[in-house]
Amino acid sequence: MPGPAGRLVRLSPFARDLRLPGLPAAARTGELVVHRLSRRAVVAAPERYVKLLARGRAPRAAELSERVRVLGAAAGLAVPRVLRAGEHALELAVLPGRSLHALGAEGPRGEVDAAWAAWAAAWPRLARALPAPGLLPEHAAEDEARTLARWAAHLDAFPGLLDAPPGAVSALAVRLGRRLTGLPAPRRDRAVLHRDLHDQQLLFDGERIGALDLDTAAVGEPALDLANLAVHLDLRHAQGLLGPDRRAVGRAAVAAVADELAVDPARLAVHAAATRLRLACVYAFRPRWRPLAQQLLDAALADGPLDPVRPGDR
């Protein structure tokens, strides 16, 4: 089919990926819940999750997962155990509980409050559990700026997908990247990071919080995780999936953890602005949520809040 600038875009068949050779067989054992072409996929199978990764990254992901599981256990946080790992895939145990995303949408209010309280108690302990040098990779502001620039380039490659002046998205990514990297590295806070922390990554079993996908864990600024989580709560509200009172509970928990970790509000703000722009680029490629992606982009350009999407806008 036609793509950006006259190029062709190849459509991949379901559960097929040349760089994830085990995907077809894995998909036959359960439900394919995530697929990022040429990068990764996740299959929910009975009593386990199968994560497939490109370029032989599975052994390293398994190693990081186990290291963070030990750190998480010491912090009172549940992290899935690695059941087995090969060159291209790893299998992870299933954690008990419901995601904070599901609880926020339909769980009893008391359970929602308890879940966020449990997260706010455990997360600072994990964040402070800095391992010996080299045991977790570093994720600096420069890395986050490159991620943002890459997503902006993806969106700019499809002019007209969202309403923005030519080059405006990449230009904003550059400005935000400069703000991200403007603080000298020695003055940046350091903590254990998830790197993609949001409400679907957190589970609550009635007593303890669990965290998924910690094979991306690294050491970097705690503001990154907290901003990502806070902006996702705003996103869920705009999607109509989270009421204002429940968003406020989650937001208050994020603020409490930011205070506990003494996170600089200015760093939290710049990471939140970067997250809004990145999510605008991501959701622009999800047709159902393209009006919301436009809102995200407008908010990023204006550095303002999100408004709930009306049902007719979806």
Q: How far apart are CA 108 and CA 293, in angstroms?
A: 30
pLDDT at residue 10 in the model: 75
User: Which residue type sits at 90?
Assistant: L
Q: How far apart are CA 15 and CA 25, in angstroms?
A: 9
pLDDT of residue 301: 86
CB-hemisphere CA count at 13 Å for 277? 32
Task: Report the largest interatomic distance among the alpha carbons of the chain, rounded to a whole angstrom.
Answer: 54
| Degrees to nearest 5, angle at CA 35 with 8 and 18 | 60
- Rounded to whole angstroms, the Cα distance separating 226 from 280 reads 18
Backbone angles phi, psi at 231, to 5 degrees: -70, -35
Structural fold of domain 95-313:
Aminoglycoside 3'-phosphotransferase; Chain: A, domain 2 (3.90.1200)
Residue where the block lists tokens 């090969």? 86
Torsional sign, CA 169, 170, 171, 177: positive
User: What is the rounded CA–CA span in Å between residue 83 and residue 81?
Assistant: 6
Cα distance between residue 134 and residue 115, in whole Å: 32
Rg (CA), the chain: 19
**Cβ proximity of 152 and 169 under 8 Å:** yes
Q: Coil, helix or strand for 142?
A: helix
Domain residues of the chain, as ranges? 1-94, 95-313
Residue 48's DSSP bridge partners are: 45
Which residues, given as ranges, of the chain have pLDDT below 50? Answer: 1-2, 307-314
Q: Mind listing the pLDDT tens digit for each residue in 207-240?
A: 999 999 999 999 999 999 999 999 999 999 999 9
The overall average pLDDT reported for the chain is 93
Both tokens of 74, joined, read 């010491």
Torsion, Cα 68 211 239 152, to 10 degrees, reads: 10
Provide the phi-psi class of 97: left if phi over 0, else alpha when psi is between -120 and 50, else beta: left
CATH class of 1-94: alpha beta
Of 304, 302, 271, 277, which Cα lies nearest the Cα of 179?
Answer: 271
